[in-house]
Structures are given as structure tokens and as C-alpha cells.
Amino acid sequence: MAEKTIEEIMSPVQHVNSDIRVDEAIAYMLSKDTGAILIKNEQGEYVGIFTKADSIKLLEKELDPTSITISSVISSPIRCMDQIESHDEARRKMLENNIRHYAVTNGKNIIGLLSNKDLNF
């Protein structure tokens, strides 16, 4: 049996606008039961990613999520992998780079998100 491609196991893209507060972004993530969201600027372009781990780091630094916009705490640039990459290649990249979430692309377009949970690790 052929190994599944990333496209077959990725999650849909969840995103918010760059001008919302961190607490609003976290509430959105909880409502969608996702560990990562992409951030869009005013032009509708993806400019970064915000993850559950990022929210924990903010709390550890004792920053107030109600007074910070999401654009000030995102990770950028967004790490991407192609939709046709294999399960094993995606796992290798995540482990080598110590990154839990990648955007999945079809050419230049982001079409999904892949997490370490999608890869069962």
C-alpha cells in the first residue's frame, strides 16, 4: 500500500487577521480545536503563524494577552512543505527543525496545515 501524502492527512487552514488581540486568537484556536493558526495582513496575505506553544511562552513571560496584538508575537516566515511530500519526509523535517506545524502548499498557495499530531508523534 502506498504511503499517504501530506495532502491526505493535513488539516484545513485556520486563520485570523493580524490586528486582533492575542486573547481573541487563542479563543479562536480553542473554538476550532486547533494547535496553530495562520495570520493574514490587511492585504489578505499570510504573514506568520501562531501556535499553542507560542501562547504558553507568552504566559510564562507574564504578558497580558488582552493588550497585545497577534502580529507582535507571530513566528515568521511561515515554514512550508509541498502537498506531495511523503509522511516520512514530513516527519524528518519536523524532527530535524524542531518545528511542530508546517503550512502545506500547492505551488505558492497555502492549502492546509500539518502538525506533528497529524503524523502521530
Please report whether residue 15 resides in a domain.
yes
Please report whether residue 48 resides in a domain.
yes
pLDDT (0 to 100) of residue 2:
64
Q: Which CATH number characterizes residue 17's domain?
A: 3.10.580.10
pLDDT tens, N- to C-terminus, the chain (121 residues): 567 789 889 999 999 999 999 999 999 999 999 999 999 999 999 999 999 999 999 989 999 999 999 999 999 999 999 999 998 999 999 999 999 999 999 999 999 999 999 988 6
pTM of the shown model = 0.91
Beta bridge partners of 115: 101
Cα 114 to Cα 35, 37, 43, 60, 61: the distances in Å are 10, 11, 24, 26, 27
Please report whether residue 57 resides in a domain.
yes
The shares of helix, strand and coil residues in the chain, as percent rounded to the nearest 5, are 30, 30, 40
Q: Which domain holds residue 38?
A: 6-115
Please report whether residue 109 resides in a domain.
yes
Please report whether residue 1 resides in a domain.
no
Q: What is d(CA 9, CA 69) in angstroms, rounded to the nearest whole number?
A: 31
Domain count along the chain: 1
CB 118 within 8 A of CB 34: no
CA nearest 28: which of 2, 57, 47, 51?
51
Please report whether residue 121 resides in a domain.
no
In angstroms, the first-to-last Cα distance of the chain is: 21
pLDDT (0 to 100) of residue 39:
98
